Structures are given as C-alpha cells and as structure tokens.
Structure 1
Amino acid sequence: MAVVIQERRASGEGSSIASPGPIATAESFGPTDRRRGWIVTAVIGALAAITRLTLLNYPTDAGTPVFDEKHYVIQAYQLLGNGWLEDNPGYGLVVHPPVGKQMIAIGELLLGYNAWGWRIIAALSGVAIVVLVTRIVRRMTRSTLIGAIAGLLAVFESVLFISSRMGMLDIFQALFVVGAFGCLIVDRDRVRERMAAAAARGTIGLSDYGPRLGVRWWRFGAGVLLGLALGTKWSGLYYIAVFGLMSVAFDVAARRAYGVRKPWKGTAIRDIGPALYALTGIPLVVYLLSYLPWFASETGVYRHVVGNQVPEGGFFGWVPDDLRALIYYSAQSLKFHEGLTNSAGNHHPWESKPFAWPMSLRPLLYYYVDSENVSGCRTESCVKAILLVGVPAMWWLSLPMLAWLTWMAIVRRDWRYGTVLAAYGAGIVPWFASLDRQMYFFYMVPAAPFMVMGFALVLASVLGPADASVERRRTGLLVVCLYLAVVIANFVWLWPILTGLPISTGMWQQELWLPSWR
C-alpha cells in the first residue's frame, strides 16, 4: 500500500502539528537546530541552578529541618547508619516508599547532615526538571523558541522553586514523572522514524497489522522512571496508568498515520504486550528493587510478619513470604494515610482540597518566625516566612489554560495538548475520589511541570505559526514577552516569602493577596 508523506519544516518556530489521520503528514522527528537548542538549554539550566542553589542552606529551625523535612531528613540520615534500612523508630511506621528518602540520603552522604546535605539533591532535581521541560516542549513543538519559553516559565514557577529547596519527597516524584513523560515523547518520534523507514522500503503493507517495531529503549527508560516515581510515593500509580494508555494511543496513531490496514488490531497484537511489560512490569521490578535493603535485613519493620500477624498458607500461600510481608507492610502504611480523614477529626490549619489546587487558592505555610525572634528588616517588627504558593500570573490563569488545552485536544485534535492535559490530570483528578482525606497543596508538585508545559503551548498559539505574516509574528512575540515579564515580576515580588527573607510585618501583609492565603 502506498503511503504519501508530506514534508514539513522541522525547525519551524511554533509550527502546528495536528493529530495524525490516515496519512502521515509530518516527516520531522525532532528539531534540527541542535547546537542552538543545547546552548539555550544550558543557559536556562544555569539560570535554574542559580535560583535553586542561592542560599540553599537558609532557613533552618535553629540548624534543624523545617516543616516535613523533620520527617524525611531524619529518616534519610538513618539510612546511612543502618545499612540503607529505614525503621523510623521515632514514629513507629514508615509512611512512604524509600526512593525519595534514599535521594536525600545521597546528599547527606556527600555533604553531611546539614541543610546543604539534605537539600542539595532536591535542588539538583529541580534544575533537572527545568532542563527536561525545556527539552520536552522543544521536541513536542519542533521549536527551540517555545522550549525556551517553557524553560523560563519553569524557572520562575514558585511551587517548583520552593520544592527544589526543601528536603521533601515531592520534587523527586516530579523529576521521575517528567523524565518518564519525556521518554515517551522521544519514543513516539522513534516509532514514527521506524514506520517511515518501513514505508520507504515498501514493507508497511506486508501485514494487515503493520511492521514490528523492535526494542524500544526509550519506553523501557520510561518504565524505570515510573518505577522510581512509584518508589517515591504510591501516587505514582496514577501516572503509570495514564502514561500506559498514552503510549498505546501513540502507537495506534502511528499505525493509522502510515496506512496500516488494521491499526487497532496491529497495536493490540504488536504493541500492547510490550507496553505492559515496559510500563507495568518494569516499574514493579524497580519498585521492589528499591526495597532490597529491607529484603536483606532481619530487623526491618514487619520483616517477618508471616506466621505472626499474617497466617501461613491460605489462599495466598503461594506468594513468597518476603513479598507477603512487603504487601502487609505497604497495607499498614496505606491504612495510616487513609485514617487521616476530616470525618475522623483530623484537621490541619493549612490543609486544602483538590478543587482549590489549580489556582493555588489555599497555599501551605512551610516556615514562619514572628517579630519577637526576627531582625534584619530595618523595622521594629519583622517576619520570616516560606509560603508554598503559586505565582498568580500563571496559577490564576490555569483554568482558561486548561480550557484551551481541552479545546485544542478535542476539537483541533492536536496530540500535544492532549498529552499534556492527560499528564496534568493524572496529578490532580484521582484525588477527587477521596475528598474526606487530609490533603495539602504540595500534592500538586508533580503536576506543576505539566501546567508549565500547558502555558508554553498556549503561548505558542499566541506567537503564531512560522509561516504567519511578519506583523502577526511580531505582535505575538510582543504579547508573549509581556506575559513572561509579568510572570518574572510576580516571582520577584513573592521572593521574600518564597525564600524566608526577613521582611516587615506590613510587607508580609502585602504579600498575602487573598484571605485564603492567611
């Protein structure tokens, strides 16, 4: 079967790539301006490093961790002195998988038990997220300019910024999730390269199901990263489900685009099995490997519950005792989380629900020292505070942005908008199923990079396609630059309450724009 391929410029700034139909319409597999792309990425990465690493060791609570750092930093340090085994004796139960705490422990191993040690890996992860967002959006849009816009938005996005400067878990999950997303975007391009090669050889029509695609290492890499995300927090399961469906959708679209006679059956026969292996089996293996120190121990929490709390034999007697013990261990941790409900009387002054997260209507106070213990603001009454709050110039516009993504994905059938929307939804939609549970705004950290990508795609629409008139492009570029300036100015205004710098109580009140921020 003949397949018609229409060439399209690979490096067009802001070019529109529609969802593929029965005929392949784009033969570009990535931007071609590689040297400029890496230079731009390096500059944005350096800017991210400067913002994330400046005064990284400040503030502390008299030399000790702040907020939930007090849980994870201490648990991470225990790993170093206990053969990478976590018992959490101070709290009686380990409430999250170990990968995030292992990441913190690496920093403490390198730099010691101090603020630099327990925050350095989080900061480097934050820098890596900015770089990944830049590269991913550049590849999706075939535009280094749009990738640079996405990178700048990520640098000055305050939720990612603060999370990169705290020894907590969410920034690591965000890193692994964004990395997995990027791997699947590259895998999509690689699949289409292989399909194009098969079309050039005239072998597309040899089977109703299309060609076999061979080993897909980028998808394998996505599976490894998803396993690390699951090993950081169990909410990684949502991304495994969504990204698995996304990968299958990419495969169906590729087979349709290159004229495979039975693309759905071809995907079912040739692609779904390997996808389950790569995006379900591999994550499970990586998750289990993260517990190797626990499996190797004799004193780990719930290490030998089979025969005690868990009866031997029975319906699940065929499951190895070590694995049954881990399942029991995980169930107890989940039970702890599920018990933190409002109906059971568990309330926190800074908790929030997912319907407030997209616009950052209820932020989270990480650190606060009142005027009696603070000096340095040149007034008699000073305050130091860190408030996890989204930059209003982005977060307050998130609902219109999501509406535009939905329109472009459904009506215009643009795959880029649909994938970003799905990834963003994986970070927030599942939480609506358990509204009674105690929740916090930092649950949005893994979704924040996809919000940034969404805004970058919207700004690409504002900028206009590469073949638009000069006047159209200049007007679009002016609007984009003005918006970036507003975001940066907004970030600079919030800087004192993002970093804990001493400010007057009057200035503190001016920083709190909404009653719900107080």
Structure 2
Amino acid sequence: MALFAGLLRFVRLGTPHDIIFDETYYVKDAWTMLMTGEARNWPEKVGAAHTPIDQLFASGQTHLWLSSAEYVVHPPIGKWCIALGLRLFGGASNPFAWRAATALAGTIAVLLLCRVAFQLFHNLPIALMAGFLMSIDGLGITMSRTSLLDNFIMLFVLAAFSCLLSHRDWALHRLQEAYKHDSHTGNFTVVETTRVFGGRRQQTKLLLNARGPFIACSWWRLAAAILLGLATATKWSGAYFFAIFAVTSVLWDSYARHQVGYRSWFTSAILIDGLPAAAYMLPAWVITYLASWAGWFIHPDSYMHNWAASHRGEGVTWLPDSLRSFAEYHKEMWLFHTTLDTPHPYMSNPLTWPLQIRPTSFYWEELANNTGLCKLAPHATCVAAITSLGNPILWWLACICFITGLVICVFSQHGDWRFLAVTVGLLAGWLPWTQYLHRTTFTFYSIVILPWMILAICYVAEWLRKNLTKSNYRITCRITLVVIGLVSAFFYPIWTAVPVPYDFWLAHMWLPSWL
C-alpha cells in the first residue's frame, strides 16, 4: 500500500514547474534556512520589468533573498523538513526537490495508518483497506504533492498515536501478568454494575483490591511526546493533539486496570498513571519544541532576536533577554493567528471540513490543447488544475461511519475503547478550530484528520465483519472500495495538474461551492 501510495505521489511530482499557493512562503523560507540558517525576506518583484519573485525563483534564480530576517508565523520544523528535501534532491531549482519531503511524509503516513489499523482491529485486510483509502484520497494526494506544512503535522501525530497504541499494548500485557500473580492473594470485592443501554442491564464482576504495577512510563510514551513536540514545532495546532492524546493514553491505562480486574482504577488514573506520565511527557514535549528554535537562538540577526535590548522594561521582564525576545515573538505570532480574518476566495468554515464543502484551488492554468488528455478534445479549452479536495465518497461515508460507530458503541454491552481511539484524532484535529470561526481557514487543514476519517470506516467495517455473513461482508467491502477507487481515478487528473478539457474539469464540480 505504501509503494502504491508512493507512485501516486512521486510520479510527475515536479509538475507544475511553478510555485503554487502557499509554497511561496515555505519553499523560499526553507531554501534560505538551508543557505543562511534562518528564513530571509524576499523582494516581491525584481528588475525594471518588475518580474514576480516566484517566477524568477522557479526559473532558477534562487539567490535573490534579502539580508533581513523574515517574520515567520509558524515554528521551523516543517520548513527544515522541506529544506532536507531540497538538499537531497537537487536544490531549489528543481520543483521535485521542493515537494519531495511532503511526498515522502504522505507515503510513510500510509504505512503508519496500516500499522495503526492493525493495532486497533488485528485484521490484515482491514489494515490494507485503511492504507488503500489513504493512498487514493484526493486530499492526501494533493497535500503530498504540494510543499506545505500540514502533511508533516499529520505524519507526526499519526506516528505518535501509533506509539501510544504500542504503549497501551505493553501496559495491558504487564497488567495481565501482574494480575495472575496478585490474584493469589484472594482479596477480591464483588461489584455489580448496571448499564442503561444494551441487552444486559446488570453484571457482577470480581475486582482485586490492589492497584497493580506501575505502567505510566515507557519508551513508547516518551517517543509519542517527542513526536507531538515535533508536530507542535511545525504548527501550533499540534498542541491540541498533545493535550488530547496524553489524556486519552492515561484513560486507556486506567481502563486497562479496570478491564484486567484491578479496583480503584479512577484514582489510579490521576495518582498512579496521570501525574507520573505528565511529569515526563510534558517536559519532553516542551524541550522538543524549544530545541526546534535552536537556529533562532544561535543567529543574532534572527527576527526580533534583539527586541529585549531595545525595549527595556517591556515584555516578560523577569526572563533573560534572549528568552524575553523569544516570548515577545511568540506573542506576536499568537496575535497573528487569533486575529487573522483577511477574506480569501477559498476560505472555508471549519464546521464544513469533514464534508469537504469548500476545497482549495492550489493551481489553475489554461494550456495549449495538444497536451495530456486535451488531445482527446483538440478544439476545447485546455486547463490544468490542482484542487485540494478529498474523495467526496470517502469523506461523506466517513461522516456516516462516525455516527454509526457512536450508535454501535453506545448500544454495545461493554462499550468499546477503539471507538474512543477513532474519535480522538477528529476531536484534536478539527474540534479546536470551531473556536476560530471568524478566522481565515482552509479545508486543506483537515489533512490532519484524514487518518481518523478512514479509521471510522474501518471501525464500521470491523463491526460488519462480525455481524454479517462472510459473503455479504466481502460483497459490501468490495463494492465500497471499487466505488471509492473509481471516483479517485476520475478525480486524479484535477488533483495532479494533468491537462484536461475544460468541460472535463467542470464535470468534477459536483457542488457549486467547489467552483
């Protein structure tokens, strides 16, 4: 699945040979960071002809940056990833190199999603289905073929989620082994539980009067904290994933204690699991974030590096000058992000992201009609487009599956921790944006929730596997995958700038808001 995804992402990656959409910020920032250690300003236009800098950059004139440091509004890790691609694949004059890092991130994410799906459902066909859906989704493809930051956030948080699932498996195994030993004491309490939903309303269970082993610390959980620090060091929205994933992981530990048969699981969630986990996860996350700014601290001409020296008595006065400047810089970034309300033709309300109501047009150009698929209609207008639109059938089906999964979980006899696992990514990547409905936002931000949209489909598929006959289950899955696959094949040209007749492009605009 990862190799298949790689083909869809790397073939023709250097097309178009233009800086598209917000590549104008991140590619040039990454290049100057690679050349000078810090992002530098660029002139908007150059020469007597007032040629746009993006046009000159794309033509190979990549040396025209200014000496002054640029005011950047996102942390540096994502741009350093882009810079690594520039270093490895031919420099700034090669569009393939601009996008190589995001394409690689999108390909690795498919492999990670297969692993996460297998960790959750322990079924190889469902894991492969998750990878297939991730491979062919339009948002996953366009974001992997465009040098923006959001693909790196998606990769880091998905990797962190996989680590937390591995921690859960490790912790559950330790609890089960410890329970076999501790249960010899015979110190049990009989507990009767009543459930409002489901067929059985009352259940009797023996709970051991002990708290069990210490499971708060593991290398998996430390790795997750570092990965979430890298996500936050790419864009601040990664902080929401850290908060929600950390709390969820502690709840998993506590529920595992209860599931195995230990008593006082809620107290354990706070005292035994929660506080020790916070004691090392939070510092690891903060240190990772601060380390990403090493270049800013090292270079004396970085943006606002000397702010404290020229503003005595201002800012956070008890901090050393370098940290005081750093804090003031972050204050400016915060004000930018929370007050950005400049109208944009492709801005979209965050509430509509899961339905892909308003996609972002990354690229549009009219071409000669003797290229690509335009040869099939030589007298028609020929266009090339990159529309950051998810496979509509996949996303709409995922929304239905979230609702269906909630109903399944509520009416199941014991609930299902896996539905919480499916839901937390959506909560972390989408729900926080609802507090910024006034802000200028774009649908392509939703790439961070794509893995969990697919996991919602997998969750319902797993339920169907256990509740339908084998033949009916296979027919249902095959029809679903074939339909989604055909829709992706239909949309692929307008995700990847393949020249097509204008009428063919227009046939993809199913909703007026997609235009």
Task: Report TM bin, short chain.
Answer: 0.7 to 0.9
Contact 1:305 1:325 in 2 (8 A): yes
List alignment gaps of at least 5 residues for structure 2: 45-69, 188-208
2: CA distance, partners of 1:371 / 1:105: 31
Cα displacement string for residues 257-292 of structure 1 (whole angstroms, at most 9, x for unaligned residues): 222222122232221123213432211110000001
Contact 1:360 1:389 in 2 (8 A): yes
2: CA distance, partners of 1:90 / 1:203: 72
Contact 1:78 1:86 in 2 (8 A): yes
2:473 is matched with 476
Letter in 1 for 2:512: P
1: CA distance, partners of 2:471 / 2:395: 26
1:52, distance to aligned residue in structure 2 (A): 1.1
2: CA distance, partners of 1:149 / 1:385: 28
2: CA distance, partners of 1:392 / 1:145: 23
Cα displacement string for residues 192-232 of structure 1 (whole angstroms, at most 9, x for unaligned residues): 01111212322797973322127401000100100000000
List alignment gaps of at least 5 residues for structure 1: 1-43
Letter in 2 for 1:148: L
CA distance 1:480–1:443, shift in 2 (3 Å): same
Map 1:370-381 onto structure 2 (within 5 A): 370-371=366-367, 375-376=371-372, 377-378=374-375, 379-380=378-379, 381=381
Match 2:15 to one of 58, 65, 78: 58
Letter in 1 for 2:326: L
Match 2:462 to one of 446, 455, 460: 460
**Greater Cα shift, 318-327 or 384-393:** 318-327
Letter in 2 for 1:50: L
CA distance 1:214–1:387, shift in 2 (3 Å): closer
Does structure 1 residue 451 correspond to structure 2 residue 448?
A: no
CA distance 1:396–1:213, shift in 2 (3 Å): closer
CA distance 1:310–1:331, shift in 2 (3 Å): farther
1:369 is matched with 365
Map 1:421-460 onto structure 2 (within 5 A): 421-460=423-462
2:356 is matched with 360
2: CA distance, partners of 1:418 / 1:214: 20
1:375, distance to aligned residue in structure 2 (A): 4.5
CA distance 1:192–1:101, shift in 2 (3 Å): same
Q: How much identity, in percent, do the aligned residues show?
A: 32
2: CA distance, partners of 1:229 / 1:374: 44
1:408, distance to aligned residue in structure 2 (A): 3.2
Letter in 2 for 1:490: V
Match 2:26 to one of 53, 67, 72: 72
2: CA distance, partners of 1:508 / 1:280: 48
1: CA distance, partners of 2:505 / 2:5: 26
Map 1:280-319 onto structure 2 (within 5 A): 280-309=282-311, 311=313, 316-319=316-319
Map 1:380-399 onto structure 2 (within 5 A): 380=379, 381-399=381-399
2: CA distance, partners of 1:329 / 1:373: 50
1:164 is matched with 144
1:272 is matched with 274
CA distance 1:455–1:403, shift in 2 (3 Å): same
Map 1:234-249 onto structure 2 (within 5 A): 234-249=236-251
2: CA distance, partners of 1:514 / 1:204: 65
Cα RMSD for the two superposed structures? 2.0
Contact 1:45 1:127 in 2 (8 A): yes
Letter in 2 for 1:406: L
Contact 1:405 1:418 in 2 (8 A): no
Contact 2:244 2:428 in 1 (8 A): yes
**Greater Cα shift, 374-383 or 92-101:** 374-383
Does structure 1 residue 110 correspond to structure 2 residue 88?
A: yes
CA distance 1:411–1:304, shift in 2 (3 Å): farther
1:202 is matched with 182
Map 1:10-29 onto structure 2 (within 5 A): none
Letter in 2 for 1:86: A
Contact 1:409 1:418 in 2 (8 A): no
Letter in 1 for 2:431: V
Letter in 2 for 1:74: K
CA distance 1:336–1:248, shift in 2 (3 Å): same
CA distance 1:48–1:304, shift in 2 (3 Å): same
2:39 is matched with 86
**Greater Cα shift, 420-429 or 393-402:** 393-402
**Partner-residue secondary structure (3-state), 1:186:** helix
Contact 1:210 1:266 in 2 (8 A): no
Contact 2:156 2:231 in 1 (8 A): yes
Letter in 2 for 1:364: T
1: CA distance, partners of 2:387 / 2:502: 15
Contact 2:229 2:286 in 1 (8 A): yes
CA distance 1:508–1:456, shift in 2 (3 Å): same
2: CA distance, partners of 1:204 / 1:373: 80
2: CA distance, partners of 1:148 / 1:426: 25
1: CA distance, partners of 2:98 / 2:423: 33
Q: TM-score, normalised by structure 2?
A: 0.85
Contact 1:406 1:421 in 2 (8 A): no
Q: TM-score, normalised by structure 1?
A: 0.85
1:88, distance to aligned residue in structure 2 (A): 4.1
**Greater Cα shift, 404-413 or 224-233:** 404-413
Letter in 2 for 1:166: T
2:64 is matched with none
Match 2:486 to one of 489, 493, 513: 489
Contact 2:309 2:321 in 1 (8 A): no
1:141 is matched with 121
CA distance 1:222–1:278, shift in 2 (3 Å): farther
CA distance 1:440–1:406, shift in 2 (3 Å): same
**Partner-residue secondary structure (3-state), 1:511:** coil
2: CA distance, partners of 1:194 / 1:409: 27
CA distance 1:204–1:503, shift in 2 (3 Å): farther
**Partner-residue secondary structure (3-state), 1:464:** helix
Match 2:79 to one of 101, 119, 123: 101
CA distance 1:59–1:460, shift in 2 (3 Å): same
Contact 1:417 1:457 in 2 (8 A): yes
**Partner-residue secondary structure (3-state), 2:250:** helix
CA distance 1:310–1:127, shift in 2 (3 Å): farther
